[in-house]
Amino acid sequence: MKQVISTVLAPKAIGPYSQAIEVNGTIYCSGQIPIDPQTGELVAGTIEVQAERVMKNLQAVLAEAGVGFDHVVKTTCFLADLADFQAFNAVYGKYFPENAPARSCVAVAGLPKGAKVEVEVIAVK
């Protein structure tokens, strides 16, 4: 059975989607961009600043589902500029210090609200 996961500690959906959905112990988190959940505004700054906000948003959604980054099995990362790859990895790697999940990382033509990064995750209980 499908269960909607939602928390005020992560940004509200900016479209017709849920922050996450849990089905049979698997949590599918929608992509997070660097929106501050308190203001609803995009966090300005470097790729590092934006990546940190993205990971904190995902952390809040995962926590609402009762898991952490250690339960993540797959991520998909979207970068507006592949030149940011190393700097993004430095932030991302802090959240997966060991047993990192499978991952895809792609450059895209653009992201919502002009974000530099978006990350979606799949986790299991």
Supply 115's token pair.
Answer: 């974000």
Catalytic residue among 105, 106, 114, 118: 105
Strand order in the sheet with 20-23: 2-5, 20-23, 26-32, 117-124, 72-79, 102-107
Specify whether the CB–CB gap between 10 and 61 falls below 8 A: yes
Residue type, 98: E
- Whether residue 105 lies in the annotated active site: yes
Catalytic residues: 105
